[in-house]
Structure 1
């Protein structure tokens, strides 16, 4: 793989399963593991009761910083006992700035790994996803629960909708797909028109991938009025996929990033198999 730096974000209160998976991933690929330990601060009290609650707010911040420091020390200890090349940094920031913090670190990584155990307390997980997908060029790899993060899947499902986001995801995953036994280009309710998926949906991307020496099968699925995300997840299980590759759709509303419907549903919970996502 061409990944030389993997960014992994963790938070106070998280277990070590994802950290150990990140170490194993970097050991298998020879990549450097850069760990960001992040906590988000509660907003400062405002209004007529601010003076009353400010003491409690300050105490909460002190507890947050103590928990952050303890997590940094623990992560450093675990990494020190491993043989992986690594560095550890930390940040304690306001929620509105959290995605920018992640994006700034991810600019210098080839991959952002998001563990299944990353909590969403104070929107930590959401901020990590938004920062990785919308504020950095790095692809995001979502790890499944209770499963090692493998980078040699035999079968890959490429979720395809002829969008720019899907095209970027396919390019980021070229090396993975070349090494796989089979790639299932999957379209749900494809629109066979010139302005959408073309007269033969999936044919163009299949030809593109085949020229890279990739063994491609095109699957055209009907949703049957089920959510597209549910159809994609079920299809991945049906074909025994070891990874899902997809583009992430979203747009900005002032400072808030809004995920598109399918993207939101796919990212809502940790996936059943590793999922590589690009914006």
Structure 2
């Protein structure tokens, strides 16, 4: 497996440009096409009990404002990807996540941003990480606000013997093969290394330089233990499964996924 096409989401937030530069560097390093994607839902006013859509010039002004935001996002993308010669741009007047769900058919990996508190993304362009993780059907690289580079030289795989983790390991192989060192980490009080050793042997068949580690639970959360182990390893990328379920159109995540999405200070590659 390789990444022949990488898609990056672009919006009107403060850190959209750094996210594009990270994705552009990654695409250049892997010889992949880079696709920028943005969607904006027009801010049509809502009436009481029913939609009150203005007519004539007012509705056109609202639509044009959304088009202008997409055009500004394209400028951010073009500037951040200027060193790449294989780039494409896709945008539309639409809800961002459904738009991405359709466009992700053209990508092996989708790069999303985790917004800072002062990110400043307008609601019509904001991409909900939970909806995207659960709905895209592609591995997602979550980039915390402000991170501009990803070397992925030292990678930690947060292992749990689930379909999501197994999928994440396969999805991450193009990066794992290029890493200087990979650590397969299981946070558990069980000292049996057989499970993670099996993963290490599997990765060796794919030319991945990996080692196994068991980390005993510290009494804090598993995500805390995973982040601590990554710091000790000197890692700049965490690979893990994404666990969640939908209830009343909202996504509810397991503890590790939720905490990593909220608190991780390095990039996370997640698969659902």
| Structure 1 vs Structure 2 CA RMSD | 3.3
2:163 is aligned to 164
What is the TM-score normalised by the length of structure 1? 0.79
* Correspondence for 1:275: 268
Secondary structure of residue in 2 paired with 1:137: coil
Residue 278 (structure 1) shift? 0.8
**SS of 1:179 mapped into structure 2:** coil
* Structure 1 partner of 2:250: 256
Matches within 5 A, 1:34-45: 34-42=35-43, 44-45=45-46
CA contact (8 A) 1:156 1:241 kept: yes
Preserved contact between residue 21 and residue 149 of structure 1 (Cα < 8 Å): yes
Deviation at 1:34, TM superposition (A): 0.9
Give the 3 Å change call, closer, same or farther, for CA 199–24 of structure 1 in structure 2: closer
In structure 1, the residue corresponding to 2:201 is in which secondary structure?
helix
Report the alpha carbon displacement of residue 232 of structure 1 after superposing the two structures with TM. 1.0
Change (3 A) 1:112 1:190: farther
* 2:5/2:109 contact within 8 Å kept: yes
Deviation at 1:258, TM superposition (A): 2.5
Q: Secondary structure at the match of 1:93?
A: coil
Query: Is the CA contact 2:244–2:254 (under 8 Å) kept in the aligned structure 1?
Result: yes
How far 1:112 sits from its partner (Å)?
A: 0.4
Q: Distance in 1 between matches of 2:217 and 2:89?
A: 44
Q: CA deviation at 1:39?
A: 2.5
Residue 88 of structure 1 pairs with residue 81 of structure 2: no
Aligned to 2:201: 207
1:1-279 equivalences under 5 Å are: 2-14=2-14, 15-42=16-43, 44-47=45-48, 61-62=62-63, 64-65=65-66, 67-75=68-76, 77-78=78-79, 81-94=82-95, 98-116=96-114, 119=119, 121-122=122-123, 126-131=127-132, 133-151=133-151, 153-189=152-188, 200-269=194-263, 271-279=264-272
Q: State the secondary structure of the residue aligned to 1:84.
A: coil
Q: CA deviation at 1:9?
A: 0.7
- CA gap of 1:231–1:41, structure 2 versus 1, over 3 A, is farther
Gaps of 5+ in 2: none
Cα distance in 1 between the residues matched to 2:49 and 2:147: 50
Distance 2:154 2:83 in 1: 30
* Structure 2 counterpart SS, 1:115: strand
1:202-254 Cα shifts (integer Å, max 9, x gaps): 23323322333433322222232211111111211111013111010111225
* Closer/same/farther in 2, CA of residues 178 and 79 from structure 1, 3 Å limit: closer
* CA gap 1:159/1:74 in 2 versus in 1, 3 angstroms: same
